[in-house]
Amino acid sequence: MESSELTALLTPDGLRMLAEMPPVRSSADVARTVSTLRAAGHSPELVSALVGQARLREKAGAKFGDLAHRMLFTRAGLEQATRMSVASLHAGRFRNAGATRVADLGCGIGGDALGLAGLGLHVAAVDADEITAAIAAYNLAPFGDAVTVAHGRAEDQDLSGIDAVWLDPARRTAGRGETSRTRHDEWSPSLEWVFDLVRRRPVGVKLGPGLDRDVIPEDVEAQWVSADGSTIELVLWSKHLARQGVRRAALVTRGDQAWEITAGADAEDAPVRDLGAFVHEPDGAVIRARLIGDVARSLDAGMLDPRIAYLTSDVALTSPFVSSFRVREELPPDTKALARALRARRIGRLEIKKRGVDVDPAALRTSLKLRGEDSATLLLTRVGETRRAILAERV
């Protein structure tokens, strides 16, 4: 969103029109709505703002639920925003640690600040992009004096009177539309500045889940977070925001439900064993946190291969930290033989999952020429140097 578009939108008439906008979901909806608005004599800036916000509000429902239709967004801001269910869990960490005034440095469109303010905390939010800061101020306006929003750099903020800090460094190229990821030595503020603050103050830092583990300070709690099957972030917690004795955590969320496994260090892997009656695929947060061994022991399971994150067991146990599959049989991994076996079993709908093998599931599905009324899951992996094809069904 450009400054001229925001100016055109933030008027009584502009906001009224936005509230009355019909759903804009498809390219046909966009073309029809633009034509209608332009025919009514509205400016190009207002038309662009209205249509853009209507589309973003539709997409934002997955992260913000009903709140999305009362918020403003930029495309990049929505992509990078913490979903509301996870932001609320983070906010609870600050409240439980006794913080009452929190600085949100790099607040974006205000997603995390919404979670903090929603629990009654006072928030001083700041963003380096002027338009993004203005949008955050609009989104956080219902909280009145409990939230302040400023345009500025994280490094320049006066933190006197602040109990704790939430920090989301810019990890992508600048912009409000299409952006790309940058290396951690190009972040703003820099990782060096971030870790210096972490050493001095109670801080929660939102980072990408694939951050090189070697750069994580030893005296922080590292919490990997997944949402609905996707690993979305790594949060580092310092000082009294970190839980005593916890250095590794995997927080798994699905919708509004959440489960967590914690440990004082990386877990020792479980022993390798032969294929059993069940195969379990650990959640991505568990894999990133290197807590696979602890989850395996809770399932009385072992590893199929020491280098691959598939577990196997004979006991009918499952867990929120894994996806579980009941083994039907092993099939030949050769594509032609596999196709014959699947046709003989009348399997026409096949979920294909892989670990440790170079396979394109979409291309393989085409090659298999599936026919039939039954469905199944195909797990492709290897044990040592041997490829394995395991026909299974989800538990």
**313 lies in a domain?**
yes
Residue that is last in its domain, among 73, 97, 114: 73
pLDDT tens string, the chain, 395 residues long: the values are 889 999 999 999 999 999 999 989 899 999 999 999 999 999 999 999 999 999 999 999 999 999 999 999 999 999 999 999 999 999 999 999 999 999 999 999 999 999 999 999 999 999 999 999 999 999 999 999 999 999 999 999 999 999 999 999 976 555 555 555 555 566 778 999 999 999 999 999 999 999 999 999 999 999 999 999 999 999 999 999 999 999 999 999 998 899 999 999 999 999 999 999 999 999 999 999 999 999 999 999 999 999 999 999 999 999 999 999 999 999 999 999 999 999 999 999 999 999 999 999 999 999 999 999 999 999 999 999 999 999 999 99
Same domain, 65 and 84: no
**354 lies in a domain?**
yes
**270 lies in a domain?**
no
Structural domain containing residue 96:
78-263
Q: What Cα–Cα distance (Å) separates residue 16 from each residue in 9, 12, 20, 132, 263?
A: 9, 6, 6, 21, 51
**272 lies in a domain?**
no
Could you give the number of structural domains in the chain?
Answer: 3
**269 lies in a domain?**
no
Same domain, 321 and 285: yes
**pTM of the full structure:** 0.91
Start-end of H helices in the chain = 3-9, 12-19, 27-39, 44-64, 75-80, 84-96, 111-118, 130-140, 191-200, 284-289, 292-298, 335-344, 361-368
Same domain, 85 and 45: no
- Paired tokens of 271: 């022993």
pLDDT tens figures, 76-98: 999 999 999 999 999 999 999 99
Query: How many whole angstroms separate alpha carbon 261 and alpha carbon 268?
Result: 14
**46 lies in a domain?**
yes
Residue that is last in its domain, among 44, 73, 102: 73
**Close Cβ partners of 85 (under 8 Å, ≥ 6 residues apart):** 227, 253, 255, 256, 258
Q: What Cα–Cα distance (Å) separates residue 83 from each residue in 33, 145, 173, 312?
A: 28, 24, 21, 33
Query: How many whole angstroms separate alpha carbon 192 and alpha carbon 215?
Result: 10
Query: How many whole angstroms separate alpha carbon 325 and alpha carbon 281?
Result: 8
Same domain, 131 and 249: yes
Query: How many whole angstroms separate alpha carbon 198 and alpha carbon 177?
Result: 30
Q: Is the peptide bond before 189 cis (omega within 30 degrees of 0)?
A: yes
**271 lies in a domain?**
no
Same domain, 88 and 44: no
Count CB-CB contacts under 10 A for residue 144: 8
Same domain, 239 and 100: yes
Residue among 171, 157, 164 nearest 237 (CA): 164
First to last CA, the chain: 45
Same domain, 24 and 106: no
Same domain, 118 and 210: yes
Same domain, 233 and 97: yes
pLDDT tens figures, 49-83: 999 999 999 999 999 999 999 999 999 999 999 99
**332 lies in a domain?**
yes
**Residue the block writes with tokens 């994580």:** 216
Residue 204 is part of a domain; what is its CATH number? Answer: 3.40.50.150
Same domain, 343 and 289: yes
Same domain, 242 and 141: yes
Same domain, 245 and 301: no
Residue that is last in its domain, among 263, 295, 324: 263
